[in-house]
Each structure stands twice: as structure tokens, then as C-alpha cells.
Chain A
Amino acid sequence: MNNASFLAVAPETVLLLGALLVIIAGVMLERSRAEWGFIAVLSFVVAMVLSVLQWRAVDTLVEEGSDLLFFSARNVPVLRIPMVVMDHYSAFAGFVIFTVGLLGLGAVWGLVKRVKTRGVELVTLILLAFAGLHMMTMSANIIMLFLGLETASIAFYVIAGFTREREESDEAAVKYFLLGSLASAIFVYGAAMLFAATGSTSFYGAGGMKDFFASTIIGEPGVLLLGIGFVIVGLGFKVSAAPFHQWAPDVYQGAPTGAVGFMAAGVKVAGFAALGRILIGALPSQIDNWAPILAILAGISMIIGTALAAVQGDVKRILAYSGVAHAGYIMMAFLAGEAGIGAMWFYVSMYALTLVGTFAIASVVSRNTPGRSDLDGWSGLSRRSPELAWAMLILLLAMGGIPFTAGFISKLTVFTAAADAGYLWLVILALLTTVVGLYVYFRVAAKMFLGSAEEDAPSLEPSTVLRLVLAVVVVGTIVFGVNPWPLLDLVREALPL
């Protein structure tokens, strides 16, 4: 082990230590919540800093021409299987995931305060979940990736059912758990088939998948294709791509509103990062095999997502279905292979921001109706709270892909990548669904600005923490919409090995 090896796992270590500390603090300082919050925030901030350091360290390692990018039990010759990798890809993923975690913590803080001492569990689970999410993105081995996936998923199942006194929350947790487990099983099955086809569970290193395809041409790729297919299906479940999205609306609706934002955002970031790691990191040579599958899934997701979002009467369900559509758009980036990674990163990180923001707003607006967020409840929001209404409007415009918000640049880069890869039909389909999407988002905007509030509807005051979260999200959405170029240049470097 050396410094770089420590650095590779440092963010996870920090988060896990943070989780332990929170539990201890929870036991020892039963009444004080500020301490847990402080520890959790500090853990996320340190993890973010470590991600930046990781990025820098990779720069130096690459300059030195060192092969220390894979970390394994190097001194034992038998076990020279890379398990963890530190590259720009994982470093960038880390930064995004921990930012989402930090913002998510802010968005859910109201709930933490409300559930009193149980809040300590919630904070611990969040820290564990985000450690798992980042593990998914830095794995150099598909088993390792699965471990990360499960760590995050199990924590999220519990968070979804956290307000267990409500029936919807229970239902959400059970649904999420059952379907999520099925997805995990499918993923493992796919992993097994990939192992059968390539003789390795590792992506990199001597004898790893990438190495295998560099030296071998598979005559009968049946098992390989099934493996790829199952892996895509498994991760497709997690990122709620159609037709594997059925769990999403119920879970989004039932789970505690403040928590849905970071759950959905975190899983999307990590899920797509994992997909990119496997498809573009390990199987770039098979692009002709997996790209059409993704293209079709992307198309179905966009159509189903937007069409069903247009008919929902509940804002949380609208956001769930629109998330399905967004999963489709993000998938388009992969069609361009490595050239699309930058587009994927930009899209998924900006979308993650908007998701956290919209659900944070939803948690304020439908505070009195837990588990639901009827569109009518949003009526006249621009009078009840102009700040929230305008923040929501900007986030909705970003989701709709209106210029001068980050959402426009996201769509532009993804569509350009797909068009460049020759999928013009998919781009046109995507744009058509974007218009329907605009209808969806303007429908919510119309309720907020054109609708009239009930006479006795109280004006809404978001808490200071929530205000802070929203300010970060909204400012980020606009700044990266007006001047996305430095970030776009950065994400072009964030490639998997």
C-alpha cells in the first residue's frame, strides 16, 4: 500500500467513519441533532475534497507513466486482480455524488429534525448509501461494483420506508425492495455470464475483460450478448429506464419527499457511471452489440416517460416519469462511445442538481400531504411564495431544456453526441418528446403562476437550510447554463480507463 492506494479508497473510508461517528454521537448525545449533522456534512465535504485530490493525483500518476491506477493486493502474485480503480472518471463521479449527498442532506434535514432520535439512523443510512454509490463508480471489478450497488440499494430501501407510520411509505419500501432485488439478481446473472464469456470478473489488468477483447475475437458471442443484456437490464432498473421503470412512480410518491431527490439523483449518477464503466470502460470493443440495445431502450424510455408524465396529476409522479425520459436522454450519450462520456457526465450531474432541488421544493409545498403532491396543491404558488415558484420554474425550464439553463446544454451535448454517432432518428425522436416534456413542465408552471391559491392557503416559508440548498441548485443551473464551457472541457477528461 502507498499513498495513492490510500487515496483511492479515502472518500469511502471517510464516509464510513462518519457514519460510525454519527451512530456513536447519536447514542451519546441523544438529544442533540446538530452534532450528527455537523459530522455528516463534514464527511461529505472531506470526501469532496478528496475527490479533487484524486483527480490531481491521477494527473501526476499519468504524467509519471505509473501503472498505479489499479489497486489490488499487488504483493500477492496470485491475487493480481484489480478491484478498485482511481481515474478521472471515478474522481469526477465522486465529486458529483458527494455534492448530491451534501445537498440531499440539506433537503432532508427537515425530516431528520421531525423524526427526532430516529434521525440518527437516517443520517447514517445516507452516509452509507453514498459510500456505496461511489464504490459503484470506482470498481475495477464487476463483483466489487455489485457490492457497491447493494450497499447503496439496501440503504435506500430503508430510507424509502423511513416514515413507516404511513402506508404509502411502507408500500414504497416493499416495492422498491422487491423490484430492486430482482434487478440486482438480474445484474449478478449478467455478471456471471460476462465472466463465463471472458473468463474474468475484472474490467482491467492482465486477463481482464478489456484485455481479453484486445486479444480475442469471439466466434459465438451468445453468452456474452446475454451477459451484456442482463447487465444493462439490471442497471436499467436502477436508473429507471423504461420498460424497467414501474417501481419509480410509486417509490417516488411514497418515500419521504425530501429524501426522494437525493435517492433518485444519486442512483442515476452512480447507475450511469457504472453503466459507462462496464460498457465503455470494459467493453468498448463490443459497441456494435450494445449500442443498438441502448438506443432502443433510450427511445422507449423517452416515449413512455414523457407520455405518462403528461397524464399524471401528482407532481412527484410527474417527476418520476420525467426521470424515465431523462434516463433515455442520458443513455443516448453512450451511443457515441467514449466521445459521449463528457455529455453523459454533464447531463447526469446537472439533472441530479435539478432533481434534488425540485423534490426539496415539493417537500415544502406538500408538507401537509405526506406521500402525495397533488398538482392542485401547487396552484397559485407564485403568490404563496414567489421565491419557491421562481426557483421551481427555473428548475422546470432546465428539465425542459430551455436555453440559458444547464438543461439546454445537457440536451445539446447529448444530442450532438448521438447525431455524430449516426443516430439522427433517435435525436429527432428525443426532440419530439422534449416538446411533450415542455408541455409537462409548463403544466406545473401554469399551476404555479396562472392558478389561484385557496383563500386560506398559508404562505410558505422554506427553512434556512432548504433555502441554501435551493440557492446552490438554482445558481448552479443558471451558471452552468450560461457558461458551461469550463465544465464541459473538464468532463471531456473524465474518461474511464
Chain B
Amino acid sequence: MSIEVKGVSKRFGDFVALDDVNVSIPSGQLTALLGPSGGGKSTLLRIIAGLESADAGSIVIEGVESTNLPAQKRNVGFVFQHYAAFKHMSVAKNVAFGLEIRKRPKADVARRVEELLELVHLSQFAHRLPAQLSGGQRQRMALARALAVEPTVLLLDEPFGALDAKVRKELRDWLRRLHDEVHVTTVFVTHDQEEALEVSDEIVVINEGRVEQIGTPDQLYDEPANEFVMGFLGEVTVLDNVRLRPHDIEVMVAPGDPLSTPGTVKRLLRVGFEVRITVATAQGDVTVLLTRTNVRQLGLEVGQQVWLAPAAGAHTAPVPVAG
């Protein structure tokens, strides 16, 4: 195990940011810390990096007891949401910073900087200032800067949070490919479940200072440990007193299945290739997600009578008793 977090707690005044958190993060993998804003995931990342100190508990990085080690000595790479670029230095100087601090020979530094800029596709921008780069380029520079010191672990705090949707998606794919090339143990914080599901090998769901579940993206999506995880990783709707995903519902235009629930189509909302259908049933509104093609095949229209049933193999969970 690369990073061992044991019994870590942290308070800011009255606010409990982390409450007895235990996590083991495996070597060489890409792990996401996923959870809502203010849930404590960034605090945990900063404690691992040594930028924040825990009130209780211990941190072991690659077998080295690091709880009381200052950030300077932990050999972790850290990437910030807002890039934290050294504004008065060129891109190459930014990347070289960690190596210069370590007093590496000049020729070595120059060579390594060149390699890294190649890796993050910024070679032609080496002499620009950070202000002359786009957000995505700045974040790639920050990544190269963090990788320059050959960190034991790479930590990214909402690395794509400040970028627009398209660049976000590009960088996400790129991070995955980069990780497959470099293989450094990587932990990144995100509140975007899609990002976590798409990029990571393993996800740690954190909410209100506690770990809710740890598992692979598939495990979390298909077998959520509790209501919170199920709700946070994807949309949930209630059909016939069970909770399930809207795309796991089968729609029929004729009665047949005795276990199906009758209802009326109340609203059809097209979002790209998907159609969100609101069906009014005796127990309340149900949301169903179909592809546009499915809707056309069934010939669904507002006001139409339909029958709903959980699709075969759908994960369902009982509705928790209120109170």
C-alpha cells in the first residue's frame, strides 16, 4: 500500500472536516477522492501532502512515517485547482523550480525540463510567462512542475475544476493516458462523479468527514454501500417502493407483465441523445431515461399510457423508512 491514512481527524473551530478517517491507497494506481463540496476530501489531500496537519491519526507514505514530516520533506507532487503558477517565471523556470532547489546540475535540469514539457505538450511555450497560457495549458505546466521532482505520490486538488467543460474532458482523458505512461501513484480530488467514474482505478467516497465507501467505479455504481453513495454516483428514482437508476427501467406500451406498474407520460425532455421521461404513477412521479431511438421505436407521446418495470439485472434498493 502506497499511502496509509489511519484514524485521521481534523477540526476547524467547531467544524469537523475529518472524523476518524481510515484509507489505504494502493501503489501505482489512480485513485479519486469523491464527495460533495465541504465534505473533507481536499482537507484529507492537504493532510497527506503536509500542507495541513491532522489533529489525530497518522500518515504513512510508501512505508515512511510522514505524520510529522514537513511538506518540504514528503516528496509529494501537488497540483492546485487554480494552478498556483509562479507568475514572474517562465514556463521552463516554473518546471525547473523543484530541481533547482535540489541543486541538480544545470545540464540535467535543462534536459529534464525539456522532457517534461514534451510530455505535457508545452515545448513551444517554454519561454512564455504563465499569464500568456490558457487555463488548460497552465494546469499542464503545473503538472509538469509537480512531476519534475519525481514525487513518490502525485496529489491533485480539483485539478480541472476551473476549466470549461470541453477542456475538462480533454484533460481528463489526457491525465488517464499520462498515468498509464508514468505510473506514479496518483490521488485526485473531485466532486464530479462522472470524472471519478471515467478516470480512476479506485474511488473513495467521502461525505461529512467520513469515508462512505471504497471500491472500483463498477463496484460503487452497481453495488453502492448506502443511500448516499447510490445517490451521489448517479441519478436515482423510485419505482414501486424500490430505488433504482432511471436508465434501468423498462418501458412497455401494452400491459402484459403482471409485476409492471401502470402510469401516464407526463413530460418528455430531450437532452442530446437521451430523453428524460416523467411518468405519473399511483405512487408518484417516476423518472425514466431512454435513448432517442428507443423513444421513437415505442412512439412515446405526452399523455400516453405506459407500463414500467425494473430491467433485468438492474441494481435496486429498498426505499429507506422515513424518519
**A in complex with B:** no
Chain A residues with CB under 8 Å of chain B are none
